[in-house]
Amino acid sequence: MHTGGVRLFVRPVEGDPTATDVLRALERRARSRGLPPPAALTGDWFGGSTVLVPSVRVHPVEPGEAFDVLDRRPEVTPEPAAPEGAVGGGWVGYLGYELTDPAGARHPGRRRLPAAAWGWTDHVLRRDPRGQWWFEAIAEHEPGALVTELGTLVAEAAGHHAESGPGPGGVVAPDAERHRKSVRRCVEEIAAGEIFQANVCSRFAVPFAGSPLELFATGSARFDPARAAYVAGAWGAVASLSPELFLARHGEVVRSSPIKGTTPRRGPQDDHNADVLRGSRKDIAENVMIVDMARNDLGRVARTGTVTTPKLLRVEPHPGVWHLVSEVRAELPPEIGDAELLRATFPPASVTGAPKVRALEIISELESDPREVYCGAVGMSSPVRGTELNVAIRTLEYAAGEVAFGVGGGITADSDAEAEWQECLTKAAPLLSLLERAGQ
């Protein structure tokens, strides 16, 4: 990582391959040269862009340093003609849910992945919302040879077939009755006045001998999630197919888009279920409580009077489901760094409960396994463009020949234990379908 003054170099790249074609080509390049694997942010990142990191060494980070890393970025001088939306490079990686949660201490021997992992990259390939590819770098001198090499890779990437591999074995499903009991216990805690709402989760696991990157590439192309992200290292891989934005910070403005409220979507014209969700008292109450939590979290570090809710209870289509989506926005004092912002807001409000501290304690008592990366955050922090992190839901975690993922939902006073379990199955279905086809 550069620590002195560096420049932002941006060069257009010819060709119009898909992001997944380029990502697969980058993996072939890394594998053939013995380089660290690529990373990817696909969907609606940094103003509608896809950002691919050709090769990055993503290292485990100690929990006490996981937030502070993001404030260690150089000052960058952009080129006068740099296009709007340029990213250049930065930190890419993830924050695991247990970083600040008591569950981490309860399951020390059951974790499979590091609590957090970050890697620094000084160059990226970015596809802007119009479909134009760019090579971007943060460097002291123009990296001409790298521009040529990666430009050729992009130009030749289209049309390559994905490599097939062995698919998954049998699914290890969570205990349905345990989940129902956890929901009922949560409702009891609400009735006792301990909490107003909490998120209860369970985990699926599937033996897997295929390529985690191919799993991500297939899933991101099939589902087109708004906040998909992929990072990998010697420790394993994280393939997040998330639709949800945790934080997007650009300068002094930060926003969060919590999702709470889910119902199945049976085809593009399924207006009936959309109307059901729009009128659901339970889902509306859940979403409003989470919005209040996000407002409170951001209010801890925001300028007084700047926390607003520009979007509330919007019904949006996502792969296989309808979601209720809101947005919270705030302005930060210039002295507030990303580490302080994360200490005020992490883990994301939509995957915890209200009040947050007590909900986290109850969750740690109810759940038998650590959430790992699930319900944490994956994303990138760029000295040029800012910091964007997703909420790590719909997230596949690969380690030691197995893929695991969590599912869950928010529990309120009106929650029904069987309905909550069915919601878990609804959320798990697209990921299980993806895994079933992984080797085909």
Looking from the CA of 178 toward its CB, the CA atoms found within 13 Å total: 12
- pLDDT, residue 414, reads 87
Where does the pLDDT of residue 168 fall: very low under 50, low under 70, confident under 90, or very high at 90 and above? Answer: low
Look up residue 285 and give its two tokens.
């109450």
77: Cβ contacts below 8 Å, ≥ 6 apart: 5, 6, 7, 8
How far, CA to CA in Å, does 176 sit from each of 4, 194, 202, 423?
Answer: 54, 25, 9, 12
Decide: 197 and 178 in contact? Cβ < 8 Å: no
For range 95-121, the mean pLDDT: 80
Where does the pLDDT of residue 425 fall: very low under 50, low under 70, confident under 90, or very high at 90 and above? Answer: very high
Where does the pLDDT of residue 303 fall: very low under 50, low under 70, confident under 90, or very high at 90 and above? Answer: very high
- pLDDT, residue 87, reads 96
- pLDDT, residue 426, reads 87
Choice among 16-25, 94-103, 312-321, 354-363 with the minimum mean pLDDT: 94-103
Decide: 187 and 411 in contact? Cβ < 8 Å: yes
Q: Please give the backbone phi and psi of residue 151, each rounded to the nearest 5 degrees, phi first.
A: -65, -40
Percent of the chain with pLDDT over 90: 78
CATH H-level superfamily of 7-159+170-252+334-435? Anthranilate synthase (3.60.120.10)
- pLDDT, residue 237, reads 98
For range 39-61, the mean pLDDT: 97
The rounded distance, in Å, linking the Cα atoms of 379 and 245 is 10
How far, CA to CA in Å, does 154 sit from each of 114, 148, 221, 429?
Answer: 32, 10, 17, 34
Where does the pLDDT of residue 103 fall: very low under 50, low under 70, confident under 90, or very high at 90 and above? Answer: very low
The rounded distance, in Å, linking the Cα atoms of 304 and 333 is 10
More confident residue, 266 or 381: 381
Among candidate residues 417, 403, 334, 343, the one with its CA nearest the CA of residue 372: 403
The rounded distance, in Å, linking the Cα atoms of 243 and 228 is 7
Of the candidates 244, 367, 397, 423, the residue annotated as catalytic is 244
Task: Scan for tokens 């990373």, then name that residue.
Answer: 39
pLDDT tens, residue by residue, 67-88: 999 999 999 988 777 788 999 9
Mean confidence (pLDDT) of the chain: 92
Among candidate residues 93, 408, 389, 394, the one with its CA nearest the CA of residue 215: 394
Looking from the CA of 365 toward its CB, the CA atoms found within 13 Å total: 13
- pLDDT, residue 3, reads 52
- pLDDT, residue 108, reads 55
The rounded distance, in Å, linking the Cα atoms of 351 and 374 is 9
- pLDDT, residue 100, reads 76
Where does the pLDDT of residue 58 fall: very low under 50, low under 70, confident under 90, or very high at 90 and above? Answer: very high
Pairing of strands 90-95, 377-382: antiparallel
Q: Taking the domains of the chain in order of start, what are their residue ranges?
A: 7-159+170-252+334-435, 253-333
How far, CA to CA in Å, does 161 sit from each of 25, 209, 330, 331?
Answer: 10, 19, 44, 46
The rounded distance, in Å, linking the Cα atoms of 162 and 165 is 10
- C-alpha triplet 92, 140, 4: angle, nearest 5°: 75
pLDDT tens, residue by residue, 374-392: 999 999 999 999 999 999 9
The rounded distance, in Å, linking the Cα atoms of 329 and 253 is 7
397 assigned to active site: no
260 assigned to active site: yes
pLDDT tens, residue by residue, 180-230: 999 999 999 999 999 999 999 999 999 999 999 999 999 999 999 999 999
Q: Is 90 exceeded by the pLDDT of residue 368?
A: no
Of the candidates 27, 136, 214, 260, the residue annotated as catalytic is 260
Q: Is 60 exceeded by the pLDDT of residue 164?
A: no
